[in-house]
Amino acid sequence: MEIKKITVLGAGLMGHGIAQVAAQIGKYDVTMRDIEQRFIDNGINMIRTSLQKFVSKGQITETEMNETLARIHTTLDLKQAVSNADLIIEAVPENIELKKTTFREVDVYVPKHAIIASNTSSVSITELASATKRPEKVAGMHFFNPPQLMKLIEIIKGAKTSDETIQTIQEVAQKMEKETVLVKKDTPGFIVNRILIPALNEAVALLWEDIATKEDIDKAIKLGLNWPMGPLMLLDYIGADTTLAIAEVLQHELDEKFHPHPGLKQMVKANLLGRKTGKGFYDWTQK
């Protein structure tokens, strides 16, 4: 099936980046939907800032920037957002009930042929598919932050996802110039987060046990494993709340060994979430 129109639900940290990649690289006609105008305005501003960076580095022209922006439409109305779409990419906040409600509603308004994908990092694709009458046309399409720069998309097959749906999503990812991996079974954390989240959790444990300073923990992993940034800094980028939420899903759905460290829980209780609240392990208010 050929995808022409893509709708992204959510204009936040991931949603705006996915919408941008779809319009800029995939050259798709994109609709970005959120529930309040200020969220849409913020998303468009982030897209503009990102495009400006590419222009100032000579990676795209001013004309390409304007053409990309012209391909992105916005709306607050869910029905209007999805009723013409061939592919929906859901990127609403990581809350299972909200995602299920969204899938249920979207299923009513989208055309019969349309595929509904979720950018979730931890919610079961099979469970989201069950909220619709088209489970064979539901799959996971997990981008990484920032979607504009990160090459990978994990594609997740739910219990009833058809091979045709997977193939169509693979083609879309290719048009977006992304690399893909196929997660053959719908399992918590997929591939990347199942390995990443325990690593981040252990970095918190090392800090709490006062084994090393945060700077040295990050330096060790940056230089010892060639990560682009250390685990505590990455945790600040992802957000302690998101990291905790994923850890809890891994713990409850997979194995007790994934239990989050008390230190991580305390960061969340103290609202030390990282970049989004200005403070996490590091102070982001000056940057």
Q: Is residue 73 annotated as a catalytic residue, yes or no?
A: no
If one asks whether residue 168 binds ligand 3HC (CB under 6 A), the answer comes out as no
CB of 116 to ligand 3HC, least distance (A): 19
Exactly one of 121, 122, 124, 201 is catalytic; name it. Answer: 121
Give the C-alpha separation, 125 to 141, whole Å.
10
Exactly one of 90, 94, 119, 142 is catalytic; name it. Answer: 142
For residue 185, count CB atoms less than 10 angstroms from its CB and return exposed for 0-12, middle for 13-18, buried for 19 or more.
exposed
- How many residues form the binding site for ligand 3HC (CB under 6 A)? 16
CB of 83 to ligand 3HC, least distance (A): 29
* Options 48-56, 68-76, 132-140, 176-184: segment touching ligand 3HC (CB under 6 A): 48-56
The sign one gets for the Cα dihedral 14, 15, 16, 18 is positive
If one asks whether residue 238 binds ligand 3HC (CB under 6 A), the answer comes out as yes
Nearest to 86 by CA among 172, 23, 209: 172
Asked whether the beta carbons of 250 and 259 are under 8 A apart, the reply is no
Q: Is residue 142 annotated as a catalytic residue, yes or no?
A: yes
Q: Is residue 193 annotated as a catalytic residue, yes or no?
A: yes
* Strands lying side by side in the sheet with 179-183: 72-75, 29-33, 5-9, 87-90, 115-118, 138-143, 152-157, 179-183
Give the C-alpha separation, 110 to 114, whole Å.
6
- Residue choice 25, 55, 96, 150 for contact with ligand 3HC (CB under 6 A): 150
If one asks whether residue 146 binds ligand 3HC (CB under 6 A), the answer comes out as yes
* Options 5-13, 126-134, 145-153, 206-214: segment touching ligand 3HC (CB under 6 A): 145-153
If one asks whether residue 193 binds ligand 3HC (CB under 6 A), the answer comes out as yes
Nearest to 8 by CA among 64, 92, 70, 68: 92
Q: Is residue 121 annotated as a catalytic residue, yes or no?
A: yes
**Which residues are marked as active site?**
121, 142, 154, 193
List residues binding ligand 3HC (CB under 6 A): 50, 53-54, 121, 144-146, 148-150, 193, 228-229, 234, 238, 242
